[in-house]
Structure 1
Amino acid sequence: MRMTTDYKNTAAGRVPSEWDVVSLGQATTDIFGGGTPSTAKPTYWGGDIEWTTSAYLSGLHLKNGQRKITKEGLDNSSSRLVPKGNLLVGTRVGVGKVAVNDVNVAISQDLTGLVLNKLAFDSEYLAYYLMSDQPQQVFRNQTRGTTIRGIPREDLKLIPVCRPPLPEQMKIAAILSKIQQAIEVQEKIIERTKELKRGLMAKLFTEGLPAFRERDRQAGLHGEELKETEIGLMPKSWEVRRLGDIFDCHDGKRVPMTKADRIAGPYPYYGASGIIDHVKDFIFDGEHLLVAEDGENLKSRKMPISFIAQGKFWVNNHAHILKNRLGSLKFYEQYMAQMDVKDYLTGTTRPKLTKGLLLEMRLPFPQETEQLEIGRVLERLDAKAKLNDIRLYLQSGIFKSMLYQLMAGHIRVNNIEIPFIGEQTGPAHVQA
């Protein structure tokens, strides 16, 4: 790779002097919208023609449609078929989404189909280009409407597009695809780790730690029997206790602050789902378990509802503060992370977990040595998950940086050989 030094000013910004800049309309042989066959007509659906909306676009390639329609449905609607190896662009809902269609696909009114001039443009390159900062800024600036915001097709056609020589386009696309493949692999690793943890937690909190049961078996005790309790199956030696018998609640010490009242400082300021700011003072010191008091997250569980706060910190009135008299904080942080709390919630528009109901929660209580070991097992898995998240963050940063530098011509790949370029070719690289 080499850095470019000779630039020219264009509608697409400063680009290498040997690159052309054309409008998106000039990069295509046809641009058209789509539609949805009537759902009241059963004969329009369930055929062999792929059909999709913008909601189904995820990643660079669309490998199959969201649903299937019949020829009758296609002929009697505004939907149109985009030949494979071209582009789908979100222009009504999901504005700015872009994908290369690996199959012939009919499109809904959310999408615009771009049939490319394959002698001038590589479809993967153009898809990546439309994902880059400058075109995405155009999508944001030109979006109009009140209830449904979209970009007019005439404005879409005017987006300036850089056109390096076709071989260079294919090299740019191949490099970005390799990075994207690494990101996708990392995302799968993260998801598998989450699945592993969910399965492990279900087993640990039902059967106990296998290492402890193995010791029983080695001692000739053949493992511990399970018993049915009000909170489900658990080892016979475990107890069920009230949360209030394990923890003291320090909600009375909380002091909420408005954003205007906060003065920046070194101490974490916690809310219902974790740290939301840093302030100059603290009201708690030591290790505590914080549990969300209110908010939709108590139902959706998109973020943790229980987490450990350590050292000096401040808490607002959206998180309960618990200090354990017995047991392991890590064990109960992990247990409550997977616990279904909906039966303890009040409120309809905004779910709330009151202090009274929190203290009445029933929790398992193994021997404290077993609690500590279960906590350590899950903590090691969390450390691995955090490392995976860091890797994904770094890979995503590399992709964004390379996308910008390659599309602006700051890094040139025209004079280098890329041995894996053939691996990326497929329907997206078929030339006319």
Structure 2
Amino acid sequence: MSSNFKKTPFGFVPPNWSLNPLHSIVERVTEKNENRSENVLTISARDGLVNQKDYFNKSVASKNLSKYFYLRKGDFAYNKSYSKGYPYGVIKMLEKYPVGVVSTLYICFRNKKKDVNNEFLKYLFESSLWYNEVRMIAKEGGRAHGLLNIGVKEFFDIMLPFPTIKEQQKIAAILTSVDEAIEKTEQIIEQTETVKKGLMQQLFTKGIKHTEFKDSDIGELPVSWSVIELSEVVEILDGQRKPIKKADRELIDGEIPYYGASGIIDWVNDFIFDEPLVLLAEDGENLKSRNLPIAFKIVGKTWVNNHAHVLRPTSINIDYLEYYLESIDYEKYISGSAQPKLNQQTIRKIKVAYPSELEQNKIASILNEIDEKLISEKKGIEYLNSLKQGLMQQLLTGRVRVPINDNEEVSS
């Protein structure tokens, strides 16, 4: 490494950067809520500090919020729970709301230094640069109940690298611009998915350019359409499914997707099917919440467990079938309350709106075009996230320096 850098616990950083213990930069927040706010927050690694009900679709907080920590916008919270991809927990800044409350299991703090940019601090904690410091203070064998055993004092003693305030601001501005691009792309995806949902409803009830309609068992449909049962247009291959225990899957790790109720859950080195098929979830909470796909197409060599029905289309466009099954409400078909289930006898009787082959192809083509746009935008998100990670690694260590003009005004 060049002599222009100095060695630190984070690797080499520029010589004019300072190393500071966290306690010299921030102050701990232990202010109690005293029932001022009901905005209970939880930490999402992806979305930051978010409303608990919005995140879990329910409240998991205690009824008495008076002892919860009271946070203001710009404050930070550290969740010591470790998870895949986040071995030392997650630290996030409160951005979405003016105030909120969090569990006292979190370590909370706020910036107290005028020469430390809050956005820079946010990105420092979004990176993995602080992991090594926390790794050294996490007590061995102290991972009870999914929480790292890290003392509060030891946490506030971790060392962090800081450039000058102007360079902090410039770095934060660059990373913020990437975040803004990510947010705009996410909005495009959300809008496109809303359009797709409305279009599916229109296409599966009104079709394309029809003017005459009739009543049917599933509502008003074009006169030329018929209503059939699912069993009339698919062959159900559930008898060929075979679940594999996780421990056994580890012994046959490979490149062939292993599917469950909502998509790929693992990879194996053997296959059951090698053809285009549609999977329809058999059980699980997702049948009601619909947070993940219920019906989806699989192609090529695949292995499917016993949590998804396997459908081979016989006289229906496979894409039309996939979209149609994903569009309908399954509430009347679901049995079981503790564990919602779509049994095979029931799915055989699912009513399907059945246009001509030509119109099925046209409807599938329209929806495929929208999916191609969604795939393109999601790839854009992946690229931007990868770009952001690379920039954080380079900018937050000074490997790439940003030009600073003493007369330049940089937003804080």
Q: TM-score normalised to the size of structure 2?
A: 0.80
- 1: distance between equivalents of 2:241 and 2:331? 24
Change (3 A) 1:57 1:258: closer
2:86 is aligned to none
Please say if residues 54 and 93 of structure 1, whose CA atoms lie closer than 8 Å, have aligned partners that are also in contact: no
Please say if residues 9 and 133 of structure 2, whose CA atoms lie closer than 8 Å, have aligned partners that are also in contact: no
Asked if residue 112 in structure 1 is aligned to residue 100 in structure 2, the reply is no
Identify the match of residue 92 of structure 2 among 89, 98, 107.
Answer: 98
2:185 is aligned to 186
Identify the match of residue 390 of structure 1 among 361, 374, 379.
Answer: 379
2:225 is aligned to 238
1:216 is aligned to none
Amino acid at match of 1:358: I
- Structure 1 window deviating more from structure 2 (124-133 vs 55-64): it is 55-64
1:372 is aligned to 361
Pairwise mapping of residues 391-430 of structure 1 onto structure 2 (< 5 A)? 391-415=380-404, 422=410, 425=411, 429=412
Change (3 A) 1:91 1:329: closer
Which digits, 9 at most, give the CA deviation of each residue in 1:267-320, with x for residues without a partner? 443332233444444333332222122222222222222122223433332222
Asked if residue 252 in structure 1 is aligned to residue 239 in structure 2, the reply is yes
1:340 is aligned to 329
| Runs of 5+ consecutive residues of structure 2 not aligned to the other structure | 54-64, 83-88
- 2: distance between equivalents of 1:61 and 1:258? 34
Which digits, 9 at most, give the CA deviation of each residue in 1:351-372, with x for residues without a partner? 2221111111111111221111
- 2: distance between equivalents of 1:99 and 1:168? 20
Pairwise mapping of residues 56-95 of structure 1 onto structure 2 (< 5 A)? 86-91=74-79
- 2: distance between equivalents of 1:9 and 1:126? 21
- 2: distance between equivalents of 1:345 and 1:57? 31
SS of 1:229's partner is coil
Alpha-carbon deviation of 1:407?
1.2
Identify the match of residue 32 of structure 2 among 20, 30, 35.
Answer: 35
Alpha-carbon deviation of 1:111?
6.0
Q: Which has the larger radius of gyration?
A: 1
Which digits, 9 at most, give the CA deviation of each residue in 1:123-146, with x for residues without a partner? 111121122203256568749786
Please say if residues 12 and 160 of structure 1, whose CA atoms lie closer than 8 Å, have aligned partners that are also in contact: no
Calculate the aligned-residue CA RMSD, in Å: 3.6
Amino acid at match of 1:233: E
Amino acid at match of 1:401: G
Please say if residues 295 and 351 of structure 1, whose CA atoms lie closer than 8 Å, have aligned partners that are also in contact: yes
- 1: distance between equivalents of 2:257 and 2:69? 54
SS of 1:350's partner is coil
Alpha-carbon deviation of 1:414?
4.1
1:285 is aligned to 274
- 2: distance between equivalents of 1:224 and 1:202? 17
Alignment length, in residue pairs? 386
Change (3 A) 1:264 1:54: closer
Pairwise mapping of residues 339-358 of structure 1 onto structure 2 (< 5 A)? 339-358=328-347
Alpha-carbon deviation of 1:235?
2.1
- 2: distance between equivalents of 1:270 and 1:101? 37
Change (3 A) 1:100 1:296: closer
Alpha-carbon deviation of 1:409?
1.6
Amino acid at match of 1:113: F
Pairwise mapping of residues 8-19 of structure 1 onto structure 2 (< 5 A)? 8-19=6-17
Change (3 A) 1:60 1:176: farther
- 2: distance between equivalents of 1:283 and 1:289? 14
Amino acid at match of 1:181: E
Which digits, 9 at most, give the CA deviation of each residue in 1:130-170, with x for residues without a partner? 22203256568749786795865423321211111111111
Identify the match of residue 359 of structure 1 among 319, 331, 348.
Answer: 348
- 1: distance between equivalents of 2:236 and 2:95? 56
Alpha-carbon deviation of 1:406?
1.1
Please say if residues 231 and 348 of structure 2, whose CA atoms lie closer than 8 Å, have aligned partners that are also in contact: yes
Which digits, 9 at most, give the CA deviation of each residue in 1:167-189, with x for residues without a partner? 11111111111111111111111
1:55 is aligned to 42
- Structure 1 window deviating more from structure 2 (91-100 vs 277-286): it is 91-100
Identify the match of residue 320 of structure 2 among 331, 336, 344.
Answer: 331
Change (3 A) 1:131 1:270: closer
Please say if residues 288 and 322 of structure 1, whose CA atoms lie closer than 8 Å, have aligned partners that are also in contact: yes
Pairwise mapping of residues 266-305 of structure 1 onto structure 2 (< 5 A)? 267-305=256-294
1:69 is aligned to none
Amino acid at match of 2:355: P
- 1: distance between equivalents of 2:326 and 2:13? 50
- 1: distance between equivalents of 2:157 and 2:125? 13
SS of 2:90's partner is coil
2:121 is aligned to 126
- 1: distance between equivalents of 2:323 and 2:99? 45
- 1: distance between equivalents of 2:121 and 2:286? 39
Please say if residues 4 and 409 of structure 1, whose CA atoms lie closer than 8 Å, have aligned partners that are also in contact: no
Asked if residue 224 in structure 1 is aligned to residue 212 in structure 2, the reply is yes
Change (3 A) 1:4 1:360: farther
Change (3 A) 1:417 1:179: farther
1:309 is aligned to 298
- Structure 1 window deviating more from structure 2 (187-196 vs 53-62): it is 53-62
Q: TM-score normalised to the size of structure 1?
A: 0.77
- 2: distance between equivalents of 1:335 and 1:400? 38
Amino acid at match of 2:242: V
Alpha-carbon deviation of 1:347?
2.9
Percent of counterpart pairs with the same letter?
32
